[in-house]
Structure formats: structure tokens, C-alpha cells
Structure 1
Amino acid sequence: MAARLRWAALLLVPALSVILSKYSRSSIPGLLPPVVLVPGYATNELDARLTELYRPSSPRCAAHKGQGWFRLYLDHASLNNDPAGVRCFAEQMSSVYDAASGDYHNVPGVETRVPFFGCTRAIRHPDPDRGNFSYTDAFVSRLERVGYRDGETLFGAPYDFRYAVPSIAGDAFFAGLKGLVEKASRRNAGHRPGAQLRRHAGVPVPAPATPAVAPEAVRARGRAVGRRRAGHAHARLRQQPRPAVRRHGGAQGRVPEPAEQPLGVAEPGRVRSYTAHGMVGFLEATGMGEAVGPYETRVLPLFRELPSPRVPVACVVGVGVDTPEMLAYPGDNFDVAPRMVMGDGDGLVNLASLVAVDPAWRRPAADFSMVKLRNVSHTGLLVDDRALAVIINAILRPNN
């Protein structure tokens, strides 16, 4: 008798996406559904190589020139203790938008690659020299405790987070992700009779956690939002000089989708407000006019509709944490720290963005669920014991 095949779940977590490949449980009793982890923004390693075409802004930035591949991101010691190193990092991490091709690319002379695709090595510790820093180690360890093994039933799909879709880099990633899901399915189907897979569950579904307000202060100022986050290596990426922040295709993809919620508000006396529908005006007012074209041609089309997924989906989000909802600036000075008007969310992503897919995907025929965990922050989802239990249960649910 042919084995019974079914879709497995796609679990979307704001800091991480978890894709469970389809497998034939009846042909291999007790087999764990293979899992492919897609990391959150800026939570995996990136390598770089500097060629003869690279023109460094200072001798310090030429230290790796002609020396082969080196870890560009994340080098926590250099970024925290060497101001000159931060400037070189920003220079080499920058990407340039080419209006003719409608795509982003590295600055001349800088080549980049994403190491360790297929395993969790680049995801577990973005800075291998700092083993006590990780957003995902607790989560991966919990998966290993229930029987998952890296490269066998557990896989990683790191990517160059500077690039959004559509782009050459983005298209290449999704092609690789599709191949990885298929590989995970084949390996865990055991190649037994009747275990042929009709299709795979590796359908790219954008995580609903689209930062709506806080990143706009980052983009306007070119530095981290909230000094309490300054100790996070994650924040060092956001502390690049303003031009470097603007030139990330990935940053363009994090611009909020249209909504009737104000983004920036001037102080009394010079009142000016912007909603997500007025992002063009906000970008121009903050000196980021070069981002208007990519925003209109690349970002907006992604949010014109939220097509229903073809696989079961579980969204796990944190709520009940003070989250920036509006930014109040003194007059037209966008270079100063804005006053944060707080609302509900997970501390980084406000509630409206967290639940954006709920109305579109919650149909009687759809296998969709959303779990809201109170008082759990954006990164806390992957370290909080209560959150981890919910996520692991969502992963294992297709086995029940």
C-alpha cells in the first residue's frame, strides 16, 4: 500500500523561520519530521574577500586585502573595541543599488559568501569566537534533546541578510532553500517503496514580523535604537554610518508595509506626521531619497497581497511588551534621538505587524494558527522556556 503523505507544518517565529519537510511517517514509524531553520535578520555568519579592485578608505581597511576569505560578520571583539574597525566593517558591508539592473551588489572589490549552508553552524554562533553569545543556541539545543541531529534531521539555511527579494542573491537563496528542503525530505523518507514524495513543503512564506516603526529611527539616524541594546552584537550592524544602513537591500525589505499608523511625528510647533502610506515623504524628509525608487519597485509589491500558504502554518509571536509605535522628532531634525511613543508588541515589532497575516490566512479551509505569548520579547521567543515549549510542540504536532 502506498505510504500516506501529508504536508508538515511551517512554523514562523519573528526571530527565526522553521520549515518542516514532508515525510512518510507510516513507512518509518517514529521518524522526526526533518527541520530546516532559516535564521532571523543578521543572525548568521558572512565571509568576505578583498580583491585588487577594492579601494580602501584607509590603510586599516586594507588589512585583509589579498589574504583570502575572512569572517566579515560577526567579529564581536573588533566591532566593540576598534572604532577604525567599525568604519572598515561598514565600508565592506555596504551594498550599492544599481538602478539600471534594479538590483543591489557589493562595493567594487568586495566579494562575499555565506558559509555552512545546510547545517546550523553559521546560525548557532554568528561569532564563533564568542561562544556565550547566541540567539538560537537554546532553541537548537532543545531540538537536539528531543532527538534532532545536525545534517541528518536538522538543517540550516543561512543567507546574506543584506539582500531582499527580488534580487539575484535572494533568488539564489530560495533556489538553495528549495533544494535543501527536498534533500531533507529524501534523506528522511528512507528511500523505501511507497515513500515517494509528490511535492515538498519548502514554499517560501514571508514571516509576518515586519518591523513597523523602530527600524525607521535606525535608518534615519544610522545608529541603534535604545541604549539598552548597545551590548548586543546585533546592534553593531545598526550602528554603521547612515549611508551604509541605507544601502542594504535587506533594510529596504524591512520598511513597513502601508498602514494608517503614524511613523514619525514632529514636536508641537512644527507638526508633521507620516503614516506608512506616506513612506516616500518620510524617506525624502530624512535624507534617504535614494531609497524611494527601490521602495516603490521592490518593497511595495511584496505587500500588495498576502497569498494564503499551501501548507499548514503556525505563527508564534510575543505580545505585551512595550514596543515603539510612533517616533516624535523635534522639528525636522531627524539626526537626534526621537521620543518613542510606545504600544503593544514584542519590543521590536508592533502588534499590527505581528498579526498582519491573521485576517488573510485565517479561513475555514486553511490550516492556520497563531499563538500569542504574553510578556515574551522578540528574541525571548527563542530562550524563554514557555515559548520554547510552545514552539517545539508546534514542530512535533504533525507527528501526533
Structure 2
Amino acid sequence: MSTAYDAASDDYYNVPGVETRVPFFGSTQSFRHPDPDRRDFSYMDKLLERLEGAGYRDGETMFGAPYDFRYAVAPAGHPSRTGTAFFTSLKSLVERASQLNGDRPAIIVTHSYGGMLAHQFLIRQPLAWRRRFVRHFIPVAAPWGGLVLGMQALISGNNLALPFVDPGALRKEYRSLQSSLWPLPSAKVFGAGQPLVSTKRRNYSAGDVADFLGDIGFGEGVGPDESRVLPLFKELPACPMVPVTCVVGVGVATPERMVYPGDDFEAMPGMVVGDGDGLVNLASLVAVEPEWRRRGPYFRMVKVDNVNHTDIVVDDRALGIVMREIRRAN
């Protein structure tokens, strides 16, 4: 599952000899279960059932845009073969969905990283296109300013919440992905001097990312971060200029500082916790609210108490709120 960054072409690719594909584009089938052969875990199945109960039908009034999460998109002047192809397909899908439904604009609903991708998609389209084809944007649990645990994932690996997988076994693979750099905390949200990771020797803030990456043994990530990620997230995400409802979980203990007992990152860190959804810090979840409320045509922030980052797409209260916002927009 690793990818490889090629400095000569300034882009990410599968490792040689590996081919991948993203099945079911255009259909919501890919969102029901991460593994269709082991249906003991559901991702968006409950949300899709609610939508079907409200009359939506896959391929007719309800469409899916699955994406290879290993890849991200790049700023202007940098290639992103996978990201560009996805945005091209997504634009065509939104237009086709509109045409199939009496030329009505679409409602875009996302979860987590999908919200950041959809936001990048929207701000890259002409304003006239957005106003014509997008009725409402509903990002659920989007980490607009990154997350402190994004730093730990680069230190220790990320098992994507799979309980039977050792995160450390996937550290090399996780570091190979451009998308693993996107969750690094933004200095605009977390401050350039606030310690987020501490060892006996020094503190690291959102303004110390280059030093942090070098000190954890991931110096090769500094170049891509500075050229392909920071230009996108150095400032707060721009208002997409379409109606937006953000749905976020709050009231769950969320790591906001990791304290390592020694001079290295080998031991298990102590955690200082604050508010958020258990994964994304509250400051990141609500980072866009002041600017988007001031500039956008319509903005609403809905906070769901005591629901975590993954449960927000299966929790009955949270699903009720998402469905309410979809009905309100439609």
C-alpha cells in the first residue's frame, strides 16, 4: 500500500510493480463496508440506509465519489496525477447528478479527510459553476487545521483504527503517503509557539514541523510538506462561497499535547487532553467558522455532544442532524 515520491516529476506513485484501482465510482456501494467480504464493520451504511429511507436511490438521486486516501492534491504549479483525475471525475459526476434530476444543484456530504478534499475541489471551480451545481456542502468532522495526533501517527504509524494491526508495522507505509502530511497541525490554528509534542530535550509546535520531521527520522518528508502541503494550509481554508453546514463531535477527550519521557520518541507518550471528537481537536473542527460565517452566503455549525470522530457517521443523534441538514438544503 506504500506510495513513492519521485522528486524528478514532483509527484506520488504506486511502488513499481503495484497496480491499484478505486471501484464503484459514482455509486455509494463502496461506502457501506470497508471490506465487502467482512460485513462486521460498517462505515457509512447507516447513513445510506437513512437516505434510502428518505427516498434517495443509488445511481439515481444518490451518488458516491470514493477516493484513494493515500493520495492528496497539490497546489498550483505542482502535478498531482491522481488528484487531478479524481477532481475531473468528481466534476463530471456532480454535473451528471444534476442533469439526471431536473438540473437541480447537488448536496455534497463528506466525512473527515473527504471534507478537506471536497473543499479543495470546490475552491478550484469557477464561482459560477459552484453556484450552478452545488446547493449545499455538509462536511462532517473535517479537520480544517490538522490535528495533534497527526504528529503521533508519523512517529508511531497508523493502523487506521483496525484493532488487529500493529501501528508500528505500518509506519514506513504511512510515511510514504502525501496524505499523511495533511493532518499536521496548522500554526494558524494551533499557534506557532504552543508545544504540541515534548521530549526531555525540546518542545515542538506547529511552527516547528520541519525540525520535528527531521528529528523523528522522516527528513524526506520536509520537502514535500513545504512545497505541496504548506501552500494549501498555511492560511485558514478559504470560504467556498456556497451554503455550508459543518457537523462536528465535541466533548470527547482529545490529545492536544504528547509528552515523551526521554530524549527520543520510542516510549509511549503521556497525553494532555482537551476538547474535540477524540481524534480532531476542537480548535481545528471550528477553525473556519468566523471567516466562513462572515463571507459565505449561509453558514451553520452544529456540535454533537459526546460523539467521537468515527461514531459521528453511525450515532443516531448525529445521523439525525445530518439528515435534517440534507432535508433543509433540499
Q: Which bracket does the TM-score occupy, shorter chain normalised?
A: 0.7 to 0.9
The count of residues paired between Structure 1 and Structure 2 equals 293
Relative to structure 1, the CA distance from residue 254 to residue 238 in structure 2 (aligned partners, 3 Å threshold; closer, same or farther) is farther
| Match among 201, 205, 215 for residue 134 of structure 2 | 201
- The one-letter code of the counterpart of 2:243 is P
1:216 and 2:151 correspond: yes
Structure with the bigger percentage of helix: 2
Distance between the aligned counterparts of 2:38 and 2:257, measured in 1? 35
Evaluate the alpha carbon distance shift between residue 149 and residue 372 of structure 1 in structure 2; reply closer, same or farther with a 3 A threshold.
same
Matched, 1:102 2:15: no
Matched, 1:134 2:69: no
User: Does structure 1 retain, via aligned residues, the 8 Å contact 2:135–2:243?
Assistant: no
Is 1:311 the counterpart of 2:213? The answer is no
TM-superposed deviation, 1:114? 0.5
The correspondence for 1:147, drawn from 55, 63, 71, is 55
Q: Can you list the C-alpha shifts for 1:128-167, whole angstroms capped at 9, x where unaligned?
A: 1111211211111111111111111111000110011112
Q: CA deviation at 1:203?
A: 9.9
What does residue 257 of structure 1 align with? Answer: 186
- Whole-angstrom distance in 2 between the partners of 1:205 and 1:384: 17
Indicate whether 1:295 and 2:230 are aligned.
no
Residue of structure 2 aligned with 1:286, choices 195, 216, 219: 216
Deviation at 1:255, TM superposition (A): 1.8
**Which residue in the other structure is 1:322 paired with?**
253
CA distance in 1, matches of 2:159, 2:196: 17
Q: TM-score, length-normalised on structure 1? A: 0.69
The answer on whether the counterparts of 2:259 and 2:271 sit within 8 Å (CA) in structure 1 is: yes
Aligned residue runs from structure 1 range 243-392, under 5 A:
243-258=172-187, 259-260=190-191, 261-266=194-199, 270-305=200-235, 306-363=237-294, 366-392=297-323
| Structure 2 unaligned spans of 5+ | 75-79, 105-128
CA contact (8 A) 2:25 2:66 kept: yes
TM-superposed deviation, 1:362: 1.4
Deviations along 1:198-230, one digit per CA (max 9) or x if unpaired, are 8212999987424411122121122559xxx55
Q: Shift of residue 387 of structure 1?
A: 0.8
Inter-partner Cα distance in structure 2 for 1:126 and 1:311? 31
Percent identity, aligned pairs only, is: 54
Alpha-carbon distance in structure 2 between the residues aligned to 1:389 and 1:239: 37
Query: Does structure 1 retain, via aligned residues, the 8 Å contact 2:240–2:296?
Result: no
- Determine the structure 1 residue equivalent to 2:110: none
Q: Cα offset for 1:365?
A: 5.5
Helix, strand or coil at the partner of 1:314: strand
Q: CA deviation at 1:330?
A: 2.0
Equivalent residue for 2:32? 124
Mark the CA change 1:361 to 1:223 in structure 2 (over 3 Å): closer, same or farther: closer
The SS at the match of 2:134 is coil
Q: Deviations over 1:4-43 (max 9, x none)?
A: xxxxxxxxxxxxxxxxxxxxxxxxxxxxxxxxxxxxxxxx
Matched, 1:164 2:164: no
Question: 2:326, 2:137 → 1: CA distance?
Answer: 17
Query: Is the alpha carbon distance of 1:364 and 1:114 closer, same or farther for their aligned partners in structure 2, counting shifts above 3 Å?
Result: closer
**Using the alignment, how far apart are the partners of 1:287 and 1:263 within structure 2?**
18
Backbone CA RMSD of aligned residues:
2.4
Residues 164 and 238 (structure 1 numbering): CA distance in 2 closer, same or farther, change over 3 Å? farther
Matches within 5 A, 1:15-34: none
8 Å CA contact retained: 2:138, 2:244: no
